Amino acid sequence: MKSRTQGMWWGTAIEAPDPGALARFYSELLGWPIGHEEPGTAILAAPEGSIFVVFQQAT
């Protein structure tokens, strides 16, 4: 992974009532595996050099 520099966009966080379910939906849609999941958070394992997508519990 390249080190972060000023002005780089690394990804996005999406709030959802059920972050695990939404992550599974996008995992199937994009073909990216879920790299990490715990209660209230799920992260897609994007291809090298791509953005990250994290899903978090909506408050």
Q: What is the pLDDT of residues 32-55, one digit of tens each?
A: 999 999 999 999 988 887 788 999
pLDDT for 8 equals: 63
Strand locations in 1-59, DSSP E? Answer: 11-16, 34-38, 41-44, 52-57
Residue 2 lies in a domain: no
Residue 3 lies in a domain: no
**Predicted confidence band at 31 (pLDDT cuts at 50, 70, 90)?**
very high
Nearest alpha carbon to residue 35 among 22, 50, 46, 19: 46
Nearest alpha carbon to residue 44 among 4, 17, 58, 29: 29
pLDDT for 46 equals: 82
Global confidence as pTM: 0.78
pLDDT for 9 equals: 65
Residue 16 lies in a domain: yes
- Domains in the chain, number: 1
Q: And the tokens for 12?
A: 């996005």
Residue 1 lies in a domain: no
Residue 41 lies in a domain: yes
Sequence-separated (6 or more) residues with CB below 8 Å from residue 19: 40, 41, 42, 55, 56, 57
We report the CATH number of the domain holding residue 43 as 3.30.720.120
